[in-house]
């Protein structure tokens, strides 16, 4: 199952400036593990030291929040898009 992981702007600096990456993965968890395996600097921005997904980072599969699916066990199929949406606060400054 080839899935595409979209990397948001604030995290691209930790992923070699890539805006997306493709992996063969059967679940969201597998895709994210491969992502942080390839880009080690991303790990601390996505996961706590205990390995849980950070609460200010949301992950979607094709527009649906994985918290309301099966979280990291959410199955993925060919052509699915996984989006990482971190919390951003800019508005007045930046």
Partner 1 sequence: MASKVQTVTRAEAATTLTNEEILRYSRHLIMPEVGMDGQLKLKNAKVLLIGTGGLGAPLGLYLAAAGVGKLGLVDFDVVDFTNLQRQVTFGTSDVGKPKSQAAQARLSNLNPDIQVQAFETKLTSENALELFKDFDIIVDGTDNFPTRYLVNDACILLGKPNVYGSIFRFEGQVTVFGTPGGPCYRCLYPEPPPPGLVPSCAEGGVLGVLPGIVGSIQAMETIKLILGSGDSLAERLLLFDALGMKFREFKLRKNPACPICGDKRTIHKLIDYYEFCGVRGEEAPAPDLHVPEITPREFKARLDRGDDLFVLDVREPHEYQICNLRGHLIPLGELPRRVHELDSSREIVTHCRSGKRSAEAVDFLRKAGFRKILNLKGGILAWSDEVDSSVPKY
Among 15, 29, 45, 66, binds partner 1 (CB under 8 A): 45
Binding-site size for partner 1 (CB under 8 A) equals 27
> Which is nearer to partner 1, 24 or 41 (by Cβ)?
41
75 near partner 1 (CB under 8 A)? no
Q: How many CB atoms lie within 10 A of CB 32?
A: 23
The answer to whether 70 contacts partner 1 (rule: CB under 8 A) is no
| Distances 30 to 18, 37, 51, 79 between C-alpha atoms, Å | 19, 10, 13, 15
Residue 33's alpha-carbon distances to 53, 93, 94, in angstroms, are: 11, 34, 31
Give me the residues that bind partner 1 (CB under 8 A), please: 8-10, 13, 19, 44-45, 54-56, 58, 60, 63-65, 68, 83, 85-94
């Amino acid at each position: 199952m080839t899935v595409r992981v979209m990397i948001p702007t604030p995290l691209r600096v930790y992923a070699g400036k890539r805006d997306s990456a493709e992996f063969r993965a059967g679940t969201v968890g597998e895709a994210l593990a491969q992502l942080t395996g390839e880009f080690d600097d991303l790990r601390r921005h996505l996961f706590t030291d205990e390995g849980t997904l950070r609460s200010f980072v949301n992950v979607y599969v094709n527009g649906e929040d994985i918290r309301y699916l099966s979280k990291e066990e959410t199955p993925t199929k060919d052509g699915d898009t996984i989006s990482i949406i971190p919390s951003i606060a800019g508005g007045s400054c930046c």
